[in-house]
Amino acid sequence: MNKLYILFKTTFINSTGINKLLKEKSKKERFRSISIFILILISFLSLAFSASINSYFMADALKAVGMLDLQITMSFILSVIIIIFTSIYKAQGLLFSSKDYYLLMSMPIKPNIILITKMLNLLIMNYFVLIFTFLPQAIVYFIKAENSSLYFLYLAVVFIFLPLIPIVLSSIIAFLISFISSRLKYKNLIINFGSILLILLIILISFYSGDLIQKIILSSKSISEGISKIYPPLIYATRALTVLNIKDLAIFIGISIVAFSIFIVIFSRSFKEINLRLEETYRRSDYKLGKITSSSKTAALFKKEARRYFSTPIYLLNTIIGPILLLIAAIATIIFGKEAIYTIAELEFSDQLIPLFIAAIVCGSLSMSCTSSSSISLEGKNLWILKSTPIVEKEIFKGKIALNILLILPAALISNLIFYISLKFSLANLIFLLIITIIYSFVTAILGLIVNLYFPKLEWTSETTVVKQSTSVFVQMLLSAFIVAVPIFVFIKGNITNINLFMILVVIYLLIVLSVLLIILNTVGVKLFKKI
């Protein structure tokens, strides 16, 4: 138990970087860490706020039809989905092929203690997310249902046990992905391809999910029966909270503990073997030197970036989803016409506004696909190679920006053309759209690089922490959203009627942003790179 505590404490401090907040001696660094922490907290609070508002209105509507309990069920389902999908990647980095594996296994600690520690780390991360997503909705339910204050005691217990089963599920999926991929030569290619297929499947299901859940619930004799078909343990959790039934609470705790314990017992037995198997790599050792081709410095740097990108599944999946979604949206307009756009926007508007809305979704999806915001961090311990070789900083930047542009621009331009054909807006609008897309793709790529130069994270144990959890990626998303939000805000508040004039102003605005970013990159950016 003592070892479990020591191990958990150390790995927790290491993975959260909490020492940066508490023990950093440099005042400047400490201020920076605290500012980032506050920024993240504000974002999570706004997430909690929007979750509360949404569930408040939903609760009102459900209460009116006498189905208030469905509100807590929906928040359970949402939480389980969030946990499963966000934990698959985390579990891959934490449980399998983690960089501290050999260090920990060489110590006199039982493998099940190591496994439990890692699972606890995964749990804590999920509790943090649940505080801002599930809890506000559960509190809204309490207010609307006017339950006794005993509700909070039940809620606390349900909250603690809620992530156990989803985490086990995502760990098993993560294991299967790692296991299959380690046995194949082109494992990254297969992981990339398989994951993209999975994402497309999820998108497809989510398109129909509203109908699906509705059908299941309607075809069931009661709501509870409907839930039990989707995810059986939730029926007990729901009953525990809605009618404060101690028996249901006990069953929910029991199921969660049994599932978690079975996982720990089975996996701790084979934890060592699984990790060793995953470490085995494919080596042919039959290379014969043939003709070698040479490239320019810029081309060599670009090739290096591209190889890094395609060999890191988490990097690729996290950034390729934007262009894929955009293409899907464009193709959807061929089939469904304007309706597809109205579905995305969740409201109907005049034809005149369609190009503006498309510009906004194109820019939004490009912001989601920024590879440059983690490109410096991903150099990690390899950074010495770029720093000790005769390459001008701007050449390095060019390689990273070029990769980002080449990944997003073709898909964005093709989507624009499809939108133009299917929605039949004017040629002038198409030209504006193409110009905005081109400028904004440079804006997002350069912005990402600058932000990463300001917030590099070179010490990491898994690429997942850089690509999904680093300050740089987070700040880039925020700033991109701000850049896109400014014209939208001006349009809404400014009562604008001349769309073409507005488009010209947007182009000028983006050109100014791009110029400022270029100046920053070529001056401050170069200095920052030298200092890393």
Partner 1 sequence: MLEIKNFSKSYKNGKKAVDNISIKLNKGEIFGFIGHNGAGKTTTIKAIVGILEFEEGEILIDGVSIKNDPIGCKRKIAYIPDNPDIYNYLTGIQYLNFIADIYEVSREERERLIKFYAEKFEILPALGDLISSYSHGMKQKLVLISALIHKPKLLILDEPFVGLDPKASHLLKEEMKKLCKEGTAIFFSTHVLEVAEKICDKVAIIKTGKIVAEGKMDEVKGNSSLEDIFMELIDNE
- Which listed range, 139-147, 235-243, 308-316, 349-357, lies at the site for partner 1 (CB under 8 A)? 308-316
DSSP 8-state assignment for residue 339: H
Rg of the chain over all Cα atoms, to the nearest angstrom: 25
| Cβ partners under 8 Å of residue 56, min gap 6 | 140, 144
Smallest separation (angstroms) from partner 1 to the CB of 28: 9
Question: Alpha-carbon dihedral of residues 503, 505, 506, 508, nearest 10 degrees?
Answer: 130
For residues 149 and 285, which CB has a smaller minimum distance to partner 1 in the complex?
285
Smallest separation (angstroms) from partner 1 to the CB of 332: 35
The phi, psi pair for 175, rounded to 5°, reads: -65, -45
For residues 264 and 395, which CB has a smaller minimum distance to partner 1 in the complex?
395
Binding letters toward partner 1, positions 359-398, x by CB under 8 A: ---------------------xxx-xx-xxxxxx------
Render the burial of 345-378: b for 16+ CB within 10 Å, e for the rest: eeeeeeeeebbbbbbbbbbbbbbbbbbbbbbbbb
DSSP 8-state assignment for residue 282: -
Does position 312 bind partner 1 by CB under 8 A?
yes
Taking alpha carbons only, the member of 258, 256, 257, 238 closest to residue 248 is 238
For residues 26 and 106, which CB has a smaller minimum distance to partner 1 in the complex?
26
For residues 190 and 300, which CB has a smaller minimum distance to partner 1 in the complex?
300
For residues 40 and 526, which CB has a smaller minimum distance to partner 1 in the complex?
526
Long-range interactions of 156-160: CB distance < 8 A, separation 24+? 157/240, 157/249, 157/253, 158/237, 158/240, 158/241, 158/249, 158/252, 159/127, 159/130, 159/134, 159/135
Q: CB–CB of 165/236 below 8 Å?
A: no
Smallest separation (angstroms) from partner 1 to the CB of 305: 11
Q: Which of 3, 30, 63, 297 binds partner 1 (CB under 8 A)?
A: 297
Smallest separation (angstroms) from partner 1 to the CB of 368: 24
DSSP 8-state assignment for residue 108: S
Taking alpha carbons only, the member of 277, 122, 282, 92 closest to residue 191 is 92
**How many residues are present in the chain?**
532
Binding letters toward partner 1, positions 7-46, x by CB under 8 A: ------------------xx--------------------
d(CA 511, CA 386): 30
Does position 505 bind partner 1 by CB under 8 A?
no
CA distances from 60 to 7, 65, 83, 145 (A): 46, 9, 26, 10
Q: Which of 286, 346, 347, 492 binds partner 1 (CB under 8 A)?
A: 286
Smallest separation (angstroms) from partner 1 to the CB of 386: 9
For residues 28 and 221, which CB has a smaller minimum distance to partner 1 in the complex?
28
Q: Which of 106, 149, 222, 281 binds partner 1 (CB under 8 A)?
A: 281
Does position 303 bind partner 1 by CB under 8 A?
yes
- Which listed range, 103-111, 150-158, 293-301, 492-500, lies at the site for partner 1 (CB under 8 A)? 293-301
Three-state DSSP class for 498? coil
- Count of residues near partner 1 by CB under 8 A: 39
Q: Which of 296, 495, 497, 498 binds partner 1 (CB under 8 A)?
A: 296
Does position 284 bind partner 1 by CB under 8 A?
yes
Query: Crossing angle, helix 69-95 and helix 233-242, to 10 degrees?
Result: 130
Q: Which of 23, 221, 493, 531 binds partner 1 (CB under 8 A)?
A: 531
- Which listed range, 63-71, 286-294, 423-431, 507-515, lies at the site for partner 1 (CB under 8 A)? 286-294
Taking alpha carbons only, the member of 155, 171, 15, 193 closest to residue 84 is 171
Three-state DSSP class for 183? coil
d(CA 105, CA 474): 33
Does position 106 bind partner 1 by CB under 8 A?
no
Q: Which of residues 331-360 bind partner 1 (CB under 8 A)?
A: none
For residues 17 and 380, which CB has a smaller minimum distance to partner 1 in the complex?
380
Residue 510: Cβ-neighbour burial (10 angstroms; 0-12, 13-18, 19+): buried
- Which listed range, 3-11, 153-161, 251-259, 299-307, lies at the site for partner 1 (CB under 8 A)? 299-307
Q: Which residues bind partner 1 (CB under 8 A)?
A: 25-26, 281-287, 289, 291-297, 299-301, 303-304, 307-308, 311-312, 380-382, 384-385, 387-392, 530-531
